[in-house]
Amino acid sequence: MNLTRYREDAEEFVSALDREYYLHFSGQQDEFDIEPIYDRYAELLTTDTVQALREAGNRELLEFAVHGLVGRATKAEEAELARREAALELELDGEVMPFRQAAVVQSNEPDPDRRAAIEEARLELTARELNPLLREMLERSHSLARELGWRSMREMCEELSGIDLGRLEGQTNGFLEASEAHYEALLTPRLEVELGFGFERLRRSDFTYFFRARTLDAAYSEEKLLTSFRETMAGLGVEGGGVRLDVEQRPKKTPRAFCAPVRVPDEVYLVIARHGGRDDYEALLHEAGHAQHFAHMSAGLPMEHRYLGDNSITESFAFLFQHLTQNPAWLRARLDVADPEAIEAQARAAKLVFLRRYAAKLAYELELHGAPPSLDPLREVYARRLGDALHVKWPSESWLSDVDPFFYAASYIRAWALETHVRRLLHERFGELWFEEPEAGAFLKSLWAEGQSVRGDELLHELTGAELDFGAMLDEFRVPSS
């Protein structure tokens, strides 16, 4: 196998997909023509190629080919799923709303009973219209993993990522146990402020409204969004370069912010659509973390270390910048917030919910992808694990839609841990105003230059000698690690 040739083609393929994604979702092009791109590069993603890459011993390229092969085998269902989702509507008290819009409406709905009604209608449509297709895709991907020679999807993902998911589960279970007794006490004051009640009445349908935290919007003015962003990048000395900021309002631009690394490191799009409030700040800075990471990768790295590899690294830089929006020193310096305590408390509460939810999701997904004798009982496993972690009755209908492909949940979990260590290091070396220090920027640039050539745990080990574990995160919630 000619690896040089394979890398060149793989880079062109990924780049073409990202460009199509960027043009469509930034609202500049109606079509989203990825099928012809897959056809043009079909050779990259065949069982023979997978076999050749396995023999060549390049783990990242092998992972890329396997994920691509599974993606290709399920792309018809995927397209059908997107078509159905886009066409579905739900009706509530005579009001009709598009299915995809309903989650946004729910997160802005002050009436808890109406939030519950919207969620119920969404779940009912999910179970009836989407789950049969999702199940087909899941079963297809499981049987492909076996055809390619692994015993299960879990075994396949562990070998291809080089990440011991069982060991990670041991750590996240430890986190669930250690934070269990503190969870309700930490959330209750913020639930009462945002919702007007605590756990006695809390339902799952309240969570997105809680995260939305409308009482805190005042601190995040629309005028300061771009200035605070530019000042932060200038303070670190990381402005310019290959990052292209797309803030233009276009009618068909997607409401979600995203980063499209079309050509790494020279052409990286940072796309946002503004809605107002805290969400804009979080989204902009999260995607800025990705964009800076890609734009500062060394051009000489092989493609697998620029576009592929362990995504807990790129997610950790995204979380690092996103975290600024709740950092008291940053809030004072950039947004003139006099008393950032409520913001900090809300952020801590929301993060604990996320960490516990992802810990439960990982345990569930390990069972789901671990070749269970039958998939049916997993529906109740999902509801039980999530319900136990979050102390609410958790509906089971989302057992198939709430699954990230190829254990992406593990990347987020590891990224949260890695970010905590990197943030602490920045604080120790450059002070609480590290985001105003060009030397902190230079330090970050030296990390970004390496791309994703090592795994997140290896990066941390090089930096501090520490193990990538969850002890550091328990400290954040002032929970003693046992």
Residue closest to Zn ion, measured at CB? 318
Work out whether 165 is an interface residue with Zn ion (CB under 5 A).
Answer: no
Site for Zn ion in 445-464 (CB under 5 A): none
Structure tokens at 37: 């791109």
CB of 315 to Zn ion, least distance (A): 5
Residue 321 or 394 having the CB closest to Zn ion? 321
Given the complex with Zn ion, which of 167 and 256 has the nearer CB atom?
256
Q: What whole-number distance in Å separates Cα of residue 291 and Cα of residue 278?
A: 20
Q: How far is the CB of 452 from Zn ion (least distance, A)?
A: 13
- Calculate the CA 139 to chain-centre distance: 24
Name residues whose C-beta falls within 8 Å of residue 242's C-beta, 6 or more positions apart in sequence. Answer: 263, 264, 265, 266, 267, 268, 294, 295
Q: Cis ω on the peptide bond leading into residue 265 (within 30° of 0)? A: yes
Number of residues binding to Zn ion, judged by CB under 5 A: 2
Shortest Å, Cβ 362 to Zn ion: 17
Q: Which residue has the tokens 């659509």?
A: 273
Residue 72 or 296 with smaller CB distance to Zn ion: 296
- Looking at beta carbons only, is 261 or 340 nearer to Zn ion? 261
Q: Which residues contact 79 (CB under 8 A, 6 or more apart)?
A: none
Nearer to Zn ion, 99 or 281 (CB): 281
Q: Between residues 407 and 430, which has the closer beta carbon with respect to Zn ion? A: 407
CB of 68 to Zn ion, least distance (A): 21
What is the C-alpha separation between 27 and 249, in angstroms, rounded? 9
Q: How far is the CB of 209 from Zn ion (least distance, A)?
A: 23
Instruction: State which residue, 206 or 315, has the beta carbon closest to Zn ion.
Output: 315
Residue 481: closest CA among 472, 416, 354, 457: 472
What's the min distance (Å) between Cβ of 319 and Zn ion?
8
The CA dihedral of 149, 155, 157, 163, to the nearest 10 degrees, is -140
Residue closer to Zn ion by CB (options 63, 315) is 315
Query: Segment 298-317, which members bind Zn ion (CB under 5 A)?
Result: 315
Q: Are 285 and 324 in contact (CB under 8 A)?
A: yes
> DSSP characters for 295-361?
HTS-TTS-HHHHTSS-HHHHHHHHHHHHHGGG-HHHHHHHH--S-THHHHHHHHHHHHHHHHHHHHH
We find the least distance from the C-beta atom of residue 361 to Zn ion, in angstroms, to be 16
Q: How far is the CB of 321 from Zn ion (least distance, A)?
A: 10
From the CB of 349, what's the least distance to Zn ion, in Å?
A: 21
Rounded to a whole number of angstroms, the minimum distance from the CB of residue 286 to Zn ion is 6
Q: Which residues contact 399 (CB under 8 A, 6 or more apart)?
A: 378, 379, 382, 383
Residue with smaller CB distance to Zn ion, 285 or 390: 285
Contact 387, 333 (CB under 8 A): no
Q: Answer whether 355's CB lies under 8 Å from 171's CB.
A: no
Binding to Zn ion (CB under 5 A): which residues in 175-194?
A: none
Phi, psi of 91 (to 5 degrees): -120, 135
Binding mask 314-353 for Zn ion (x = CB under 5 A): -x--x-----------------------------------
Name the one residue in this structure whose structure tokens are 């076999």.
Answer: 51
CB atoms within 10 A of CB 210: 19
Pick 119 or 280: Cβ nearer Zn ion:
280
Q: Which residues bind Zn ion (CB under 5 A)?
A: 315, 318
